[in-house]
Amino acid sequence: MSVSDLSTLQAEFDEALSQAQSAADLKAVRDRFLGRKSGRLTALLKTLGSLPPDERRTVGAAVNALKQTFEARLAEREAAVGSPAPFEGVDITLPGRRPALGRRHPLTQVRERIEDIFAGMGYQIIEGPELEDDWHNFEALNMPAEHPARDMQDTLYLSAPMPADASGRRASLLRTHTSGMQIRYMEAHEPPVRLIAPGRVYRRDNFDATHTPMFTQVEGLVVDRDISLGDLKGTLQVFAEQFFGAGVATRLRPSFFPYTEPSAELDVECQGCGGRGCPLCKYTGWIEVLGCGMVHPAVFEAVGYDPEQYTGFAFGVGIERLALRLYGVDDIRMFYENDLRFLEQLAP
């Protein structure tokens, strides 16, 4: 044992420390040199007793100095490698605390989207009764009793008429369309008219994948001095572009409704196939979106508007049908089951 042995040990330590990378490596270095049982320096200290007293003092001092050096250098490296300090943060990856997120029903989402488009064009949004009288649902809409068109809409009737309203009429049926709102509004207001009337309507249809006895419509009505079929066409084009996306192709196809003349249906290019033809559009390339037309003069006469002075257009959109397309759903019943696994997939 001599001081030169110590410098060899120091060189060994420096070498070992310089190669240590991790906390585990440092631990190994500590064990090798300072370990209580088999550490090299510890072993040296144990041999001090066998030295003569003079030598013991000088060598002992040198060994102790070396031990302090080793401790300091190890502590320095250990601190740099980062030995575990007490954890004072939070686990930012755990879920936060919050109320659950509810969603508006898909039929509401489609309805509000349509409302917003027309509100942006200056239409007012109105609502009306679901229990309706014969006058507002049929008669004033150019469908007198025994009119074959009444068969187009199989009606649900009340067991007994409701008590009379302010005008003396008694509701006797569930409205088959929102078109009665045209009459109610025009009876109470002078032209010009620019409105939409969303709401639930009823038909005596079976409840299956494509039919439902209750569904939702949005009625539209515009009346002014010079409203033309061209205005209807332009308005529906704006609606289709804002609803389905810019550049969507539309076509107006002649049809029949008792309360409009001319009558038409609006077809929109099938979103499923881009108009090439697919099962969704029955290989026609077109999807029927809504019924519309120029307000029949008999309707104006029923509400006391002069059909010579005023013309107008009306349309009725079925919300379920649009929702089926929009959400890619193939069974209309899904809108009425309120299955959370379905509803929770929606945007709020």
Partner 1 sequence: MRVLVSWLREFVEAPADVASVAEALASCGFAVDGIEGDVVDFDVTANRPDALSVYGLAREASVAFRRPLRPPTLAPAPAGTAPMRVSIADSGCGRYALAVADVQVGPSPAWLAERLTAAGVRPINNIVDITNYVMIEMGQPMHAFDMAKLAGPELRVRRARADETLTTLDGHDRTLDESMLVIADRDRPVAIAGVMGGATSEVSATTTRVAFESAWFRPSLVRTTSKRLGLKTEASARFERGADISAPVAALRRAIALLAEIGAGQVTGGITDVYPRPAVAPSIVLRRSRLAKLLGTTVPDADVERILSGLGFGVTPQADGWQVTVPSFRVDVSREVDLCEEVGRHWGFDRIPATLPPPSAAPRPSAPAVAQARLLRRLLCGAGLQEAVTFTFIDARAAAPYAPENDLVTIANPLSEKFAVMRPSIAPGLYESLVYNRNRQAADVRLFEIGSTFSRSRGERRALGWVQTGSRGTHWSGSLGAVEFTDAKGLAELVAEAVGAPVDVAPGDDLGWLRPGERAVLTIGSERAGWIGRLAVTPDVDAPVYAGEIDLDVLALASTAGLRPIQPLPRFPSAVRDLSIIVDERLPAAELRGTIRSSAPSTLVSVREFDRYKGKGIEPGQVSLSVRLTFRHPDRTLTDTEVQQAVDGIVEALQRAHGARLRGR
User: Which positions from 81 through 120 interact with partner 1, judged by CB under 8 A?
Assistant: 94-95, 97, 99-105, 107-108, 112, 115, 119
- C-beta closer to partner 1: residue 29 or 294: 294
Pick out residues in 25-64 that bind partner 1 (CB under 8 A). none
- C-beta closer to partner 1: residue 8 or 157: 157
CB of 179 to partner 1, least distance (A): 16
Between CA 209 and CA 58 the distance in angstroms is 100
Between CA 290 and CA 278 the distance in angstroms is 20
CB of 271 to partner 1, least distance (A): 20
Residue 137 binding partner 1, by CB under 8 A: no
Residue 346 amino acid letter: L
Between CA 159 and CA 151 the distance in angstroms is 20
Pick out residues in 281-320 that bind partner 1 (CB under 8 A). 282, 284, 294, 296-297, 311
Indicate which single residue of 57, 65, 83, 204 sits in contact with partner 1 (rule: CB under 8 A).
Answer: 204
Residue 237 binding partner 1, by CB under 8 A: yes
- C-beta closer to partner 1: residue 41 or 236: 236
What are the angstrom distances between the C-alpha of 14 and each of 5, 31, 79, 185? 14, 14, 17, 96
Between CA 326 and CA 153 the distance in angstroms is 26
CB of 88 to partner 1, least distance (A): 18
- C-beta closer to partner 1: residue 66 or 174: 174
CB of 122 to partner 1, least distance (A): 4
Between CA 273 and CA 287 the distance in angstroms is 11
Between CA 174 and CA 185 the distance in angstroms is 18
- 23 and 83 in contact (C-beta within 8 Å)? yes
CB of 146 to partner 1, least distance (A): 5
Pick out residues in 211-230 that bind partner 1 (CB under 8 A). 213-214, 222, 224-230
Which tokens in the block code for residue 178? Answer: 């929102």
Q: Which residues contact 70 (CB under 8 A, 6 or more apart)?
A: 13, 33, 34, 41
| Helices 40-47, 23-34: crossing angle, 10 deg rounding | 10
Indicate which single residue of 25, 35, 45, 262 sits in contact with partner 1 (rule: CB under 8 A).
Answer: 262
Pick out residues in 117-136 that bind partner 1 (CB under 8 A). 119, 121-127, 129-131
- Chain length of the chain: 348
Burial of 298 (0-12, 13-18, 19+ CB in 10 A): middle
Write the binding mask 155 to 184 for partner 1: x where contact by CB under 8 A, - elsewhere.
Answer: -xxxxx-xx----------x----------
Which tokens in the block code for residue 111? Answer: 């309805």
Pick out residues in 317-346 that bind partner 1 (CB under 8 A). 335-341, 343-344
Between CA 112 and CA 115 the distance in angstroms is 5
Residue 261 binding partner 1, by CB under 8 A: yes
CB of 195 to partner 1, least distance (A): 8
- C-beta closer to partner 1: residue 60 or 297: 297
CB of 272 to partner 1, least distance (A): 18
Residue 275 binding partner 1, by CB under 8 A: no
Between CA 84 and CA 65 the distance in angstroms is 28
Indicate which single residue of 52, 53, 84, 148 sits in contact with partner 1 (rule: CB under 8 A).
Answer: 148
